[in-house]
Amino acid sequence: MKRLLIKHGRVVDPASGHDAIADVLVEEGAIAAVGPNLSAAGAERFDASGMVVAPGFIDMHVHLREPGFEHAETIESGARAAAAGGFTTICCMPNTSPVNDNATVTSYIVERARSVADVHVLPIGAITKNSSGEELAALATMQQAGIIAISDDGRPVMNSRVMRRAMELACAYKLPVIDHCEDLNLSAGGDMHEGYTSVRRGLRGIPSASEDVMVARDIILAEMTGARLHIAHISTANSVAMVGFARSRGLLVSCEATPHHFALADEHSQPYDSNYKMRPPLRGAQDVEAVAAGISSGVVEVIATDHAPHAGSEKMQEFEKCPFGITGLETAIAVTLDRLVHTGRISLMRMIELYTTGPARVLNLNKGRLAPGMPADITVFSTTHEWTYDVNKTCSKSKNSPFHGVSFRGGPAATFVNGRLVWAR
């Protein structure tokens, strides 16, 4: 029998409330026991002294670019970047080419991931055909093929009637609806957050209101239809407040925040540097503060990266021509430690929740716990190791990160998927 003993780590498991120095015994790819001073003759050993041992992290919002944009990322390279970032499960958005709007594409992603990916890859299906916002996609057959949620991420459904129909079906199928909330008329032509900094730089703005009006619409439709609504990459103070309000009414509404939206404000972005260009954009300092406050208050239940690789040539252009999006898998843990844990805003336990039980609850996945019998997906990370992120050494095929050259205290150390070590520092 193949056995692995992860020794002497600080084992933090939000589901059970465990937070103590302990060993984790893995047998045949599953968790066998968690406890102090476990002995296992003949087991392979991994010394986790001085490190945190947590359930495998889940990133419920990534772009893997395959099929269609393999020059920027593939399922294989994206999964490797995920492993290097401490993630054992990633959920990929459907904006590939072709769009993941039918079971054939879903099956391709599932099969491809099974043969080349180091981590679990769970596809998210499109809400509408070609994500063009008009005709509903084949939701039920995609679900049979393996999608775990639906979203027209990046090309949100503007037509409220179509969104209502999608939510009605999704509610019946128990499929969460993930929405990239952006009123495309209000944001049209915008390249960065609308405010003092955009006016100063002479760039067209994306107003906070473009997010807020859609969050409001979606909450109203979620109440009407009973669907589970998850707001992707929340970025404004008003939207955080509205999700809090929806929750207080008992609605099945949740939201995620990205590390860049709680770490960086528009005014601190490098002028005309597309590594700071994404949608939603880096907002004003008050919004950044509101997102961080939402994480500590519990309104934000998930941290997700919105890992959005783009080839260098695409990002080396006039700012207004550059595509939106930055990579994020490899820096998420470090940025979260840096901005939220080391600053005392949230506990280590809470941070781990945001990456494990949080997304598992939203997506209704049996993941994110270190209980005996569960697949041994385990994230080991340091809270003290000092290092500097070098984007030239990334596992991703793309290098569009604003965190290149930034020094951190703490980061991923080792990643186990089904008990197999897939990455180590």
Number of amino acids touching other proteins (CB under 8 A)? 20
Encoded one letter per residue, x for contact with other proteins by CB under 8 A and - for no contact, window 8-47 reads ----------------------------------------
- The residue among 204 and 361 lying less far from other proteins, judged by its C-beta, is 204
Out of 184, 285, 316, 424, name the contact with other proteins by CB under 8 A. 316
- The residue among 317 and 384 lying less far from other proteins, judged by its C-beta, is 317
Q: How far apart are CA 56 and CA 378, in angstroms?
A: 4
Residues 70-129 touching other proteins, rule: CB under 8 A, are none
User: Residue 318 Cβ, how far from other proteins at the closest point, in Å?
Assistant: 4
Segment holding 353, helix H or strand E: helix 348-355
User: Residue 277 Cβ, how far from other proteins at the closest point, in Å?
Assistant: 11
Q: How far apart are CA 344 and CA 356, in angstroms?
A: 20
Helices (H), 202-339: 208-225, 237-248, 259-263, 285-297, 312-315, 332-336
- Residues 6+ away with beta carbon under 8 Å from 250: none
User: Residue 315 Cβ, how far from other proteins at the closest point, in Å?
Assistant: 11
User: Residue 191 Cβ, how far from other proteins at the closest point, in Å?
Assistant: 9
User: Residue 188 Cβ, how far from other proteins at the closest point, in Å?
Assistant: 6
List C-alpha distances in Å: 50 to 166, 377, 407. Answer: 48, 20, 20
- The residue among 35 and 271 lying less far from other proteins, judged by its C-beta, is 271
For position 272 contacting other proteins by CB under 8 A, the verdict is yes
Q: How far apart are CA 110 and CA 332, in angstroms?
A: 25
Beta-bridged to residue 5, according to DSSP, are 25, 45
Determine what percent of the chain falls in helix, strand and coil, rounding each to the nearest 5.
35, 25, 40
Q: How far apart are CA 194 and CA 282, in angstroms?
A: 10
For position 386 contacting other proteins by CB under 8 A, the verdict is no
Cα dihedral across residues 131, 137, 143, 146: positive or negative: negative
Is residue 267 exposed (0-12), middle (13-18) or buried (19+ Cβ within 10 Å)? middle
Q: Check 287, 306, 338, 377 and give the catalytic one.
A: 306
Q: Please confirm, yes or no, whether 306 is among the known catalytic residues.
A: yes
Q: How far apart are CA 190 and CA 181, in angstroms?
A: 15
Out of 36, 50, 68, 271, name the contact with other proteins by CB under 8 A. 271
- The residue among 71 and 345 lying less far from other proteins, judged by its C-beta, is 71
For position 317 contacting other proteins by CB under 8 A, the verdict is yes
Q: How far apart are CA 295 and CA 106, in angstroms?
A: 32
Of 261, 294, 295, the residue nearest 280 (C-alpha): 261
List C-alpha distances in Å: 353 to 77, 213, 245, 296. Answer: 26, 29, 22, 11
For position 313 contacting other proteins by CB under 8 A, the verdict is yes
User: Residue 41 Cβ, how far from other proteins at the closest point, in Å?
Assistant: 56
User: Residue 275 Cβ, how far from other proteins at the closest point, in Å?
Assistant: 12
- The residue among 27 and 182 lying less far from other proteins, judged by its C-beta, is 182
Out of 320, 323, 404, 425, name the contact with other proteins by CB under 8 A. 320
Residues 170-209 touching other proteins, rule: CB under 8 A, are 188-189, 195-196, 198-203
- The residue among 313 and 366 lying less far from other proteins, judged by its C-beta, is 313
For position 286 contacting other proteins by CB under 8 A, the verdict is no
Q: Which two tokens stand for residue 323?
A: 């595509």
Catalytic residues, by residue number, are 306
Contact residues for other proteins, defined by CB under 8 A? 188-189, 195-196, 198-203, 271-273, 313, 316-321
